[in-house]
Structure 1
């Protein structure tokens, strides 16, 4: 058997082909990458450098410190306190719902309603922005979170300034409060100025002077690591703090009046007549303004909102009440100046005034007998004004009261002031589409009917009377230059005659405020009581004991002292307080005496 030989197949060439093809692909690929790298390096250098820096360097906003608020003696009414809070950056939080749940486990005392509200809020805002959960953590809570911080990516412990009101309820209606910036606020503010800030003045002086209290934010460029922690500060532009606000109010008088009015629905305003500086601005009941700083819960807010005593209402400048007999001195002055009566004219008061088959009763049913103008002020004789008003007419009464600020805003540097109502024929036609009736003039002459005033307006009118016609805009800011002008005076004796009637009202046994003022020694108080009906009696006898408390008359009192060199003018209104001489006058006179003997 012979051997057969088969030549061996040469496989080297196909292998070399594959090798060269692979090498070519690699060269082409690397050439493309190098070309792309060169292209990006030389043509888009600035763009990608900025992006790279953005991963490493961030710009942080430095919120400004809010200006503090002081009373006239330098006592602090609104302060800033350093506290710890949690800041959330949503783009760094893997699962917001889980993080919120874990926080609730870590801090069982945190209000779950507020946590949920906050979570819903930041879901509506840009992912890259940092938002502070407006709840203060104490030192122990801050330490607990710091120990567990690694479990909460995107949530950091942050130091911030919290607004604090040391006097709580005493200054709530005066100073107001700050709160979280709302969508409505965003529509009216400069957003750049509020970067890094989540609070804004919501009410009171915090709102009125927001622009100066807020300040200007600063900026900080920082280097951060992958977790967002700051490694070093590269550049810093400090924030400009807000301006401090120095007030005319004396917190001691404010506290005194608040204590005197405790347990009542009431308001008191005191003004220094010669300057227009407001010394006290009290509304009771009140509320703790500190509740609103970090955001009040729905349940807490509803409790305040549904309280039948209405603590959220600022009665001092928003409460509107019939002025009652407190307008009699001004009406009497106008009647003297215009010649509708004289210092010697007398009428007989049987206890009522008859007009068109109707009797308009005096507050003293048995009457005062023969009465002149001065006695009508001292004893508050309604009948004298009933008769005189028909001669004057409602438009004349309107023109007498208007220069004293009734029916108009005072222009005070405080938000939300109401203007009240000063009726006239034109006002009724415009408002009700009806003519004016003479019977309405009679009841308007003693501050009833359509007449409405605020305690602030009453204090301002009393201040003008104390100033003998000098009108100065009431204000809270200590260094504010108020506007002022002088009312025309036809006869100075008329002013002194009326003021002497107010003095006798406090310092003589016949006066309606005699029981409250008889102990005053060393100076004289000029005052006038007032009683305002809550509902129409329809000629029925008013028996307070038979009426529900809410139907009792409002009690009013206005005064200034010392009568011939006044340094304080005051108005007080006590809702359903009954007679002004019995309820409001004692409080006002005690406050005046406290001011004269302790604060001057």
Structure 2
């Protein structure tokens, strides 16, 4: 045989193999696994129309496209279907069978699928491909043709806020919903009269009531909600429910029993808004959620917020429960117990409620914050229940700014700053506390470069030592003392007391500052700063912490707002020596005990107090009359338990700090003199 006779068949075989390979590549038909992956991609996007297109002809005969799409959409909206994760594995032993494992996030937690998906090869539009034999268990596991689902909300409760003794500050209670029953409202004229009276009583417009009554679901015996009011408004509720067709329904509500007295402290909750939902994505909130809007309700939202549970219940064709597809248990919010003493809080509010001002109370030995009050105030219950736009505008436009939180602010402390100046001067040995300094007259300037500006004082003592300067509040003495310390040393030392720093507390407070740029470069600014004017700005809680050094041997206590059994700690240790602290403590007693002391009217028989007054002035030009604020800081010295810092604004016509001292005295009498 010729050797060339073998070449042709071998070449022919190679040609056939290549041709078959090319033919196979050209067809590029998806596998069953590929088709399930296409179905899953559409499923993840909840593209139900595309999913339907991938069903076999037999499956499409069992359910119309419109029914398929609407059923998926209705159920997935109800269960709040979210992310879908899948694992797909082809069964190599059985062609057209794919093992699908999937996890679908829902309102009731993850729903897990583990199914063997059957596919069928069908020819459509001259193309052979795989199509899915679908059944309802691919909507949710265990579902059949006639079954349905129900989603039950498993209610949880928001954490409550209580004071150190367990007294309620923000709790879960009830409110009074005012409803109308159309069939009981009487004739048209009676109905019109009732609506007119309700608009006046409830602050709701006639249009709102008419719209509520005109809703499509309303029947003669329906309860039609109009508004919700505080249960404590018994007179209003009685007047409303005496009208024909008006009834009261108790509903769950957040309640603030201390009302205006603790409004700025607790803040309030409100309904979730579209804007807030955008700010809190993927955090479990929905349009019906309640969220902290201000104060502690906002600051401790993560701890206080509740997480409702949910259950997806499988129903048989009769509507009876046939099983649970998924369930997520509710989680209640955590309760918070504060160091606040509601008795102290209410005592300060009682003294401040007719004025614009603030009160801060602490236990100077352990740092417990006993009270934080801001006035004028508002009732947080009104905000929870839905304050009317007219009432909100009234609060917003009030010149006294009742919505403003004053205990978080910082302002000029006036003479209450003088003990700090004294502490720094004594530390630097810039002054001798016993030395009598000669001061002539009631005004003084360092040199002629000050022009028309002078430091003035009320007293006219020709010679003044530290103690006299403190209890008589001599501005000139402390202006001269500041100059003796020097601008650089003064600006540096106040930082040791926490100036320029955030206070170590969860409630955000304004930082205290010695000047706008943190420096004291000019003599006049330095002199003014020595007695708490110039550009000095102090937060009232910070001032209280500075004064705590006078009873803690020179260390400033660290504040705390959450009740704890942990031992107290110091925020700033050894800001002054124990000797200086004890010396200034004795001098501050004279502010109250000495008949010439600026706070002698705060003296309480049987209870020794130490403290300091201050009357910062806000004037455009020296010599002119202007706005003044009254300050007073006081604490009891024998086994110190209470320190109160109180500020009242615009006291220029009421005697400055002398308007405040009796108020603080009454707080001590109510709290400690029982």
TM-score range, shorter chain: 0.7 to 0.9
In structure 1, the partner of 2:351 is 260
> TM-score, with normalisation over the residues of structure 1?
0.74
**Equivalent runs, 1:193-342 vs 2, <5 Å:** 193-195=284-286, 197-222=288-313, 235=324, 237-318=328-409, 320-342=410-432
The runs of 5 or more residues in structure 2 that have no matched partner are 1-55, 69-117, 119-132, 179-193, 213-224, 232-236
Deviation track 1:143-174 (CA, whole Å, cap 9, x = no partner) reads 9xxx9xxxxxxxxxx99631111121111011
- Contact kept? 1:180, 1:294, Cα under 8 Å: no
In structure 1, the partner of 2:460 is 367
1:512 to 576, 598, 622: 598
In structure 2, the partner of 1:453 is 538
When structure 1 is superposed on structure 2, of 457-466 and 570-579 the one drifting more is 457-466
1:529 aligns with 2:529: no
1:397 positional shift:
2.1
**Structure 2 CA distance for aligned equivalents of residues 205 and 233 of structure 1:** 44
**Structure 2 CA distance for aligned equivalents of residues 377 and 233 of structure 1:** 81
Deviation track 1:48-83 (CA, whole Å, cap 9, x = no partner) reads 764878983132443421111111111111121246
In structure 2, the partner of 1:27 is none
- Contact kept? 2:553, 2:579, Cα under 8 Å: no
> For residues 339 and 162 of structure 1, do their structure 2 counterparts lie closer, same or farther at Cα, with a shift above 3 Å needed?
same
1:192 positional shift:
4.6
Q: Which secondary structure state, in structure 1, belongs to the residue aligned with residue 407 of structure 2?
A: coil
- Contact kept? 2:195, 2:206, Cα under 8 Å: no
In structure 1, the partner of 2:522 is 437
In structure 2, the partner of 1:594 is 670
> TM-score, with normalisation over the residues of structure 2?
0.66
- Contact kept? 1:196, 1:217, Cα under 8 Å: no
- Contact kept? 2:591, 2:598, Cα under 8 Å: yes
1:77 aligns with 2:169: yes
1:336 positional shift:
0.7
**Structure 1 CA distance for aligned equivalents of residues 555 and 577 of structure 2:** 15
> For residues 238 and 331 of structure 1, do their structure 2 counterparts lie closer, same or farther at Cα, with a shift above 3 Å needed?
same
In structure 2, the partner of 1:566 is 640
**Structure 2 CA distance for aligned equivalents of residues 83 and 231 of structure 1:** 35
Q: Which secondary structure state, in structure 2, belongs to the residue aligned with residue 80 of structure 1?
A: strand
**Structure 2 CA distance for aligned equivalents of residues 136 and 457 of structure 1:** 38
**Equivalent runs, 1:396-475 vs 2, <5 Å:** 396-415=489-508, 417-423=509-515, 427=518, 436-475=521-560
> For residues 284 and 83 of structure 1, do their structure 2 counterparts lie closer, same or farther at Cα, with a shift above 3 Å needed?
closer
In structure 2, the partner of 1:349 is 439
The runs of 5 or more residues in structure 1 that have no matched partner are 1-31, 87-103, 120-131, 148-157, 429-434
Work out the number of aligned pairs and report it: 503
Deviation track 1:487-531 (CA, whole Å, cap 9, x = no partner) reads 2366432221111110011101121111221x431x321110101
In structure 1, the partner of 2:30 is none
**Structure 2 CA distance for aligned equivalents of residues 345 and 137 of structure 1:** 63
Deviation track 1:265-318 (CA, whole Å, cap 9, x = no partner) reads 010100011221111111111001011113333222111000011100111112
**Structure 2 CA distance for aligned equivalents of residues 292 and 62 of structure 1:** 26
**Structure 2 CA distance for aligned equivalents of residues 293 and 233 of structure 1:** 40
In structure 2, the partner of 1:503 is 589
**Structure 2 CA distance for aligned equivalents of residues 328 and 137 of structure 1:** 47
